[in-house]
Amino acid sequence: MKRLFKWLVYILLSLIVVLILFSFYAYNRMRMDEPQITNRTAFNLQGTNINDSIRTCESDWLKHDKSGLYEMRLSGSPLELGVKNGILSKELIAYQEEAFVDEIKKKVPSEYYLNFLKYFIGWFNRDMDNYVPIDNQIEIYGVSQFTDDKYDFIAPKYQRILNYHGAHDIGHALQNMNLVACTGFALWGNKSSDGDLIIGRNFDFFVGKKFAEKKIVAFYKPKDGHQFMFITWGGLTGVVSGMNDAGLTITLNSAKSDIPTAAYTPVSIVARNILQHCSTIDEALTEAKKFKTFVSESFLIGSGKENKAAIIEKSPEITALFKSSQSEIIATNHYQSEAFKNDKLNVENIAESASMYRMKRMHELVDAKDSINYLDVAQVLRDQKGLEGKDIGLCNEKAVNQLIAHHSIIFKPKKMQVWVSTQPFQLGKYICYDLNKIFSDSVNYTSNIHIDSLTIPVDSFLYSQAFKNSQLYRKGVEEINSAKQNNEKLSDAYLQEFINYNPNFFHVYKIVGDYYTSINENEKAIEIYQKAFSCEFPRIIDQKDIEERIEKLENSK
């Protein structure tokens, strides 16, 4: 017996040692080495507040425009770009990180699972720095030194900010059945009112209302490469929508991917390098091929020099170029090139997601006009209807405008003009910037730097009862989910009122059906679930989900 006890103690001690060694190994594998920086004089730079809305650092500046947008001009080496970014936008970086972390806590309220998620992402991203160019690492390091100490429990500053650059990719990978449903299109020749290339896109990346409130229109003058502008938020140096001084534009659209086993280059970093170092479609394709990504992505590339656009379709294994035979090209969330024609994931995506439906709707909208100008582009990007103008409910993924856009943007590359939407979503006015002036430093940043005469007016939908209903619908979703979690009783009248806010969208019936299921009123739940079948389901999986819920309840009788 004593001998057995000794063996058990020995085994237990051995396991403890193994766990300690594994934890030490895992920690060191998860920890990213900071980039080696020999000249750190950039950290001696200081910021100056000109007034309540303008802050400067040397010749660079950050301005809070009356439109609600933040405008930021940065120049210099990678480290100078990062440090100046941190000095000028420190409060915005803190605000954005808080918004991001708060939204994660809403979605994952359990501290246990949050800790698990933290270590999983740390392990998953353990080698990401090996796939991010050193200039990008140095710039991110510069930014990271101005982040809030209170989030150091998540990870060290540099590691944390670098990981955030892969947040879009990780969310895309882990929620593969719920893609970021962006829409973009480009027109030229006989499709454009003046024959010049024009591009529009909605960036439908929603991480809560707060996350989208403080957008930054950034204008960069790097030491090496092209000057460029892009839409960003505090702490992000990657690009999701932008244009450079050669008239090259880039926007991102996610596609369906296999679940990856490790992180490689975040797609926003790929886009940043294309924008900074390329001036033609072929150069962009060559640059894209240099990187290994861990998710699939479409890069809609517009070229002012060539007066046309194309789509770089990239998976972890293949990079292909899709060109249109007409004077238009549309990007939703599936691939169109021959290289991916028979790809299993792409075929499934086309059949089961909202992507093809949205593309067909885009063709309807574009083909309805003989030629299109920038005002027409905004009208297309704001469209909320289904095929043939059908009412498919507010916030439906099959709509071009799902009322979730972080931003919407329009480019005229030949004229170096860009329009950026203001809050909320793409319903506020679009502000126009002349990049010729901004890139030449001939603009007076102490006054308006945009062109008032080219402002696209606010969408009248913003003042409608339907818009108010969309906000009440979102509020109702939160209230009902909270009631379900806290075992609170809601009246049938309240639940019917919630349905009336958005009666043509299947999701209201799912939310109410789930509530009735939670309080064991199964007959009411089945009745409500069945009403969802009168709606246009965004994806096949949504319809199957409702069918399975009904079947489960009926089998429990």
H or E stretch covering 290: none
Mapping DSSP onto H, E and C, the string for 30-64 reads HCCCCCCCCCCHHHHCCCEECCCCEEEECCEEEEE
Between the CA of residue 162 and those of 56, 141, 236, what are the distances in Å?
25, 8, 9
Angle among Cα 442, 448, 450 to the nearest 5 degrees reads 75
Question: What is the maximum span of the chain, computed from C-alpha positions, in angstroms?
Answer: 93
End-to-end CA distance of the chain: 55
3-state secondary structure of 152: coil
3-state secondary structure of 187: strand
Give the integer Cα–Cα distance in Å for 403 and 390: 17
Of the candidates 100, 163, 104, the one whose C-alpha atom is nearest the C-alpha of residue 132 is 163
Domain 465-555 has CATH 1.25.40: yes
Amino acid at 513: G
pTM of the model: 0.91
Is the CB of residue 386 less than 8 Å from the CB of residue 396?
yes
Amino acid at 242: G
Is the CB of residue 143 less than 8 Å from the CB of residue 235?
yes
Residue 191 tokens read as 């499709």
* Bond before 424 cis per omega within 30 degrees: yes
Predicted confidence at residue 187, as pLDDT, reads: 98
3-state secondary structure of 10: helix
Predicted confidence at residue 117, as pLDDT, reads: 62
Give the start-to-end residue ranges of the domains of the chain. 48-463, 465-555
Q: What's the burial of 457, exposed, middle or buried (CB within 10 Å: 0-12/13-18/19+)?
A: exposed
Predicted confidence at residue 120, as pLDDT, reads: 60
How would you write the pLDDT of the chain (557 residues) with one tens digit per residue?
Answer: 545 444 444 454 444 333 333 333 344 445 578 999 999 999 999 999 999 999 999 999 999 999 999 999 999 999 999 999 999 999 999 999 998 888 777 766 666 555 656 666 666 667 788 899 999 999 999 999 999 888 888 888 999 899 888 877 766 655 544 446 799 999 999 999 999 999 999 999 877 788 889 999 999 999 999 999 999 999 999 999 999 999 999 999 988 887 777 789 999 999 999 999 999 999 999 999 999 998 899 999 999 999 999 999 999 999 999 999 999 999 999 999 999 999 999 999 999 999 999 999 999 999 999 899 999 999 999 999 999 999 999 999 999 999 999 999 999 999 999 999 999 999 999 999 999 999 998 899 999 999 999 999 999 999 999 999 999 999 999 999 999 988 899 999 999 999 999 999 999 999 999 999 999 999 999 999 999 999 999 999 999 999 999 999 998 87
Between the CA of residue 307 and those of 79, 241, 245, 324, 408, what are the distances in Å?
35, 18, 15, 13, 22
Amino acid at 1: M
Q: What's the burial of 79, exposed, middle or buried (CB within 10 Å: 0-12/13-18/19+)?
A: buried
H or E stretch covering 206: none
Give the integer Cα–Cα distance in Å for 330 and 323: 10
Predicted confidence at residue 16, as pLDDT, reads: 39
Amino acid at 146: F
DSSP-derived secondary structure letter, 126: T
Q: Could you name the CATH architecture of 48-463?
A: 4-Layer Sandwich (3.60)
Of the candidates 344, 352, 339, the one whose C-alpha atom is nearest the C-alpha of residue 179 is 352
- Contacts of residue 348, defined as CB under 8 A and 6 or more positions apart, other chains included, come to 256
Give the integer Cα–Cα distance in Å for 338 and 342: 8
Is the CB of residue 529 less than 8 Å from the CB of residue 500?
no
- Tokens 């740390």 found at: 122
Of the candidates 41, 24, 360, 326, the one whose C-alpha atom is nearest the C-alpha of residue 186 is 326
Predicted confidence at residue 281, as pLDDT, reads: 98
Region of residue 271 (left: phi > 0; alpha: psi -120 to 50; beta: else) = alpha
